[in-house]
Structure 1
C-alpha cells in the first residue's frame, strides 16, 4: 500500500511539474527580427499564436500555431538558458558589410526581457539555432 501511494504521489508531482512548465509559456513572448536596408521581418510568438510581418509598411498576419509545432517550440525554449542570451556570440560577421541582415532574438518571460546582440540572419548562435529556425519557418509558409 505504501509503495502504491508513493508511486501515485510521484506520478502526480511529475505531471504537475511538466504542466507548470507549459503554463509558463502562456505569458512568454518570443520575438525574432531580421532587418537590413532591403529586408524587414518580424515574427512574434505568444500563447500558441504567431504574428508575422514581412515588410516595413506591411500589416502583421496572425495565425494559430499547430499543436505539433507549438510543442517543438516549447521543447526548444526549455533548452535555452535565458540568462546567457545577452552574452551569445555570433558565429559569422556578414552583417558588418551588408552580407546579411541583422538578426535579433528577444524573449520576454516573467516580466524580464532577454535580448541577443545582433547576429547574421540565417546564422544564429548555436545555443538558440533550433529555436530561431522554428520561428523563421513561419515566414516560409
Structure 2
C-alpha cells in the first residue's frame, strides 16, 4: 500500500510541475529584436501568440503558435537561466562592422526584466541559442505564408 501511495504521489507531483511550467511561460513576455540600417525584425511571444514586425513603421502580424511549438517553447524556456542572461557573451562580432544585424533578447517575467547583451542576429550566445532559434522560426514561418 505504501508503494502504491508513493507511486500515486510521484505521478501527481510530476503532472503538477508541467502545469507550473505552462503557467511560467504564459506569464512571460519574450521579445526578440534585430536591427541594422536596412533591416528590422521584432518578435514578441505572449500567451500562445507570436507578434512579428518586419519593418519599423508597419503593424505586427499576429500568428497563433501551434500546441507542438508551444510545448517546445515551454521546454526551452525552462532551460534558460534568467539571472545569467545579462552575462552571456556573443560568440561573434559581425555587428561591429555591419556584417550582421544587432540582436537582443528581453524576457519580462513576474515584474522583472531580463535582457541579454547585444549579439549578432543569427549567432546568439550558447545559453539562449535554442530559444532564440525557436523564436526566429516563427518569423520564418510567417514569411513563408
* Secondary structure, aligned partner of 1:128: helix
Partners in 1 of 2:4 and 2:139 — Cα distance?
50
Match of 1:125?
125
Unaligned residue ranges in structure 1 (runs of 5+): none
Deviation per CA, 1:2-28: give whole Å up to 9, x if none: 221221112111211221121111111
* Secondary structure, aligned partner of 1:103: strand
Cα deviation for residue 48 of structure 1 reads 0.8
Q: How does the TM-score come out when normalised to structure 2?
A: 0.94
Aligned residue pairs total: 141
Root-mean-square deviation (CA, aligned residues, Å) is 0.9
Match of 2:74?
74
After the TM superposition, which segments of 4 or more aligned residues of structure 1 sit over 4 Å from their partners?
none
Deviation per CA, 1:23-49: give whole Å up to 9, x if none: 111111101000111111000001111
Unaligned residue ranges in structure 2 (runs of 5+): none
Matches within 5 A, 1:41-120: 41-120=41-120
